[in-house]
Structure 1
């Protein structure tokens, strides 16, 4: 370990590390969780498996800190250990308040071939994210592991949640059994955007409730139109329309989105539902509206499954 590395906490002085500190750091990897994450290749034509290491810093004392990381290891075989740990922790501090979450810090590190030093991501929770996750954490249990981890990381670090979600949409469009993960991902990003804007407002709860209602309405409109395509033997058109709506969402092209929606409803001699017009001048973003409608449009035509999903979230 170099003796001239800048210390960020001691006014950037070149203090050498003591022997005990070196020994503690040498054994530090024993206390971290390692897991594999699927990330897009440089060409984005396929997915690569990358090994990651994760440590949680926080809690009220050393015993709590040890328990946090032991719980993370215990959950490592679950579908989504990252979200499960946070949800598990929240369930235990629920009787306190969301400020407890702000003491958590997630430290992720990994190395790439040819790099001398490891790459380090440090993620802490803002007040708006703490309140959002405190109230809406169950959404992340409904997503696939890689998607929920990526979204959690993006939202915690204030990265573009919609850009993260768009990486997965094309793959999920190809598999109707997976498209509902995109709906929950869109809901998570949209709700967090609203928490960031309105978390200080007294009527925030009502605003969040309205957003959820509109997204479920758009999802159900997609399901309803899917039935029309099937009834008129035009099911082969569904995916091409979904890709067109997806392009509108990615480029934030409201005109393309509304033109496509108008053509769909006019082709079946139906009136465009008011929820689409409300999207143009309300709290709901174009991306959230498009992803919600696409999820319903491409979802498996299993009414009981969709009904259970809807009821469990309301």
Structure 2
């Protein structure tokens, strides 16, 4: 209550979440008075319901099933839109929408108080252009209440994130710390990100929920995923083809991983941006290649989980993709970068549309017209395998093709200059 008296703007934030709650929505009330009313309306009844002897004739709360509610208290014990307005739930429009398909809900004073305090569990974060959200709560079933509180407090220190680090990396790192390897993967499988943007003028806010699937959890359980691949994904890319709105590439990749989406879309957008941009922004190529490695590793793990062949492992996937990157860089050092960019428009479009035969045909023409011998490995571009898909291998080739001038054959062909 003292804090509310000192920080009146907190009530303005709450207006976005509880526009139908009179104690908060009444703009004429003074801050100090509103704090007192909240104590009278919510805090004291919750304390009393825990301290007093409960009447066994009264129904149990529909949410906690522990505290007895008092259905005779009109408007206080029955489900009301004001308590759930941040979720857009209405007893008129969504009778069976929220809880256990019950048309009537009894809510005890303790749960009423907790519902009004739900906003305190959200962490403000930089506006997310990918999903149009600005707040997050992280739930982790492996943790107790106190640890869960500390986890969310830890991610609230946005300013403590290292340059280029995302909130999702921090959560994954925190969830792995202190656990043995087997338990850490189980912990990651139970991570849930709940993100939202309140829209007081609309019935439903922008609410997003994400969970880590077993294949992604196993991917992140390998420290190299975060320490090597993710740390080498930097900068911003367009969120969609043909739009000017941009977002951090690492965040786009992480969201696609968490959602189980294809990672080749951000790779295509990164390479297309490189081709269309004046200058030599090598970070786009490095970011694209590391995203391709993550994609191949995830697909390999997913294949094993689904009963396929054993996953190849980080080194095996990396070796195959790096081979195609090196071929693309090695065989076209005689081309100027501008020429490579012009030729890449068609090649990238064919890969994006999964037209493997046409891509292969166009690539052979480039080899023949430039009087270069065709490597045997190029044939492998047409094949789909558990280790790498056509798109992954072809895009890896393109990251090398678009690299700056390569080194001589007797030198290192790292491609990361």
TM-score, scaled to structure 1: 0.80
Give 1:177 shift. 3.4
Mapped partners of 1:302, 1:273: distance in 2 = 17
Q: Aligned residue for 1:89?
A: 175
Secondary structure at 2:401 match in 1: helix
Mapped partners of 1:306, 1:53: distance in 2 = 44
Matched, 1:237 2:328: no
- Cα-to-partner distance string for 1:6-65 (whole Å, 9 max, x where unaligned): 4544234441544433433333333333222334xxxxxxxxx94521111013211221
1:1-314 mapped onto 2 (5 Å cutoff): 2=81, 4=91, 5=94, 6=96, 8-33=98-123, 34-39=125-130, 50-58=132-140, 59-75=142-158, 77-78=161-162, 79=164, 80-97=166-183, 98-111=185-198, 115-135=202-222, 137-138=225-226, 139-144=229-234, 146-173=248-275, 174=277, 175-199=281-305, 204-206=310-312, 209-229=315-335, 234-283=336-385, 284-300=388-404, 307=414
Secondary structure at 2:117 match in 1: helix
Give 1:300 shift. 4.6
Change (3 A) 1:112 1:278: farther
Q: Is the 8 A contact 1:177 1:299 kept in 2?
A: no
Give 1:241 shift. 1.9
Give 1:294 shift. 1.7
Give 1:176 shift. 3.4
Give 1:205 shift. 4.3
Q: Is the 8 A contact 1:83 1:148 kept in 2?
A: no
Q: Is the 8 A contact 1:83 1:141 kept in 2?
A: no
Mapped partners of 1:17, 1:266: distance in 2 = 75
Higher helix proportion, which one?
1
Q: Is the 8 A contact 1:142 1:184 kept in 2?
A: yes
Mapped partners of 1:82, 1:200: distance in 2 = 26
- Cα-to-partner distance string for 1:197-223 (whole Å, 9 max, x where unaligned): 123669624365432211111112222
Secondary structure at 2:194 match in 1: strand
- Cα-to-partner distance string for 1:251-272 (whole Å, 9 max, x where unaligned): 1011221122212322332222
Mapped partners of 2:272, 2:340: distance in 1 = 14
Q: Aligned residue for 1:43?
A: none
Mapped partners of 1:159, 1:116: distance in 2 = 28
Secondary structure at 2:331 match in 1: helix
Q: Is the 8 A contact 1:245 1:290 kept in 2?
A: no
Q: Which moved more, 1:134-143 or 1:56-65?
A: 134-143
Change (3 A) 1:123 1:305: farther
Higher RCO, Cα 8 Å, sep 6+: 1
Which ranges in structure 2 are unaligned for 5 or more consecutive residues?
1-79, 82-89, 236-247
Give 1:74 shift. 2.9
